[in-house]
């Protein structure tokens, strides 16, 4: 069976409906249309019933597997979020230490008669920190939009 696009399927359905409407009233009553749409993590109950007829307790095993898979997915999501939070805090701590080292280094340069180098180091550190904080605000504003 070839895969059809949605518009091709709709055209085919429209053709079938047109053909049925052309039939005499007695024949129209013989034609029935049954459409059932089911969406979910587990198979439809009728399918589970069919599995149970092939293998006793198959439906129970399928449901247990679905529950276990959901629990596993939630656990993995929690681990991922937790690792993201830890990585964020670790990055902040490293950035603070790096900034502190740069400020201490610039103070050392200024006290050892290198005011230009110390001033440039302090200025770039402050501009970098300011850029980081203003960029975070811009990203938050873009996410809100």
Q: Is the pLDDT of residue 35 over 60?
A: no
Q: Is the pLDDT of residue 75 over 60?
A: yes
d(CA 64, CA 53): 18
Q: What does the DSSP 8-state code read for residue 60? A: H
Q: What tokens appear for 104 in the block?
A: 């201490």
Quick: pLDDT tens for 89-145: 898 888 888 888 888 988 898 899 888 988 888 888 778 777 777 766 555 555 555
Q: Where does the pLDDT of residue 68 fall: very low under 50, low under 70, confident under 90, or very high at 90 and above?
A: very high
3-state secondary structure of 1: coil
- Quote the mean pLDDT of the chain: 80
Global pTM value: 0.50
Per DSSP, helices labelled H in the chain are: 6-22, 25-30, 45-54, 58-111, 115-144
């Amino acid at each position: 069976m070839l895969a059809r696009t949605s518009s091709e399927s709709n055209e085919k359905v429209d053709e079938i409906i047109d053909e049925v409407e052309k039939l005499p009233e007695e024949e129209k009553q013989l034609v029935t249309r049954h459409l059932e749409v089911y969406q979910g993590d587990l198979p439809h109950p009728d399918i589970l019933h069919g599995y149970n007829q092939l293998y006793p307790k198959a439906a129970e095993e399928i449901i247990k597997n679905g529950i276990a898979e959901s629990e596993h997915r939630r656990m993995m999501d929690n681990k991922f979020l937790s690792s993201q939070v830890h990585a964020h805090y670790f990055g902040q701590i490293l950035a603070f230490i790096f900034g502190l080292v740069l400020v201490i280094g610039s103070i050392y340069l200024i006290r050892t008669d290198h005011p230009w180098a110390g001033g440039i180091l302090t200025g770039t550190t402050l501009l970098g920190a300011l850029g980081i904080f203003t960029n975070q605000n811009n990203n938050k504003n873009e996410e809100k939009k």
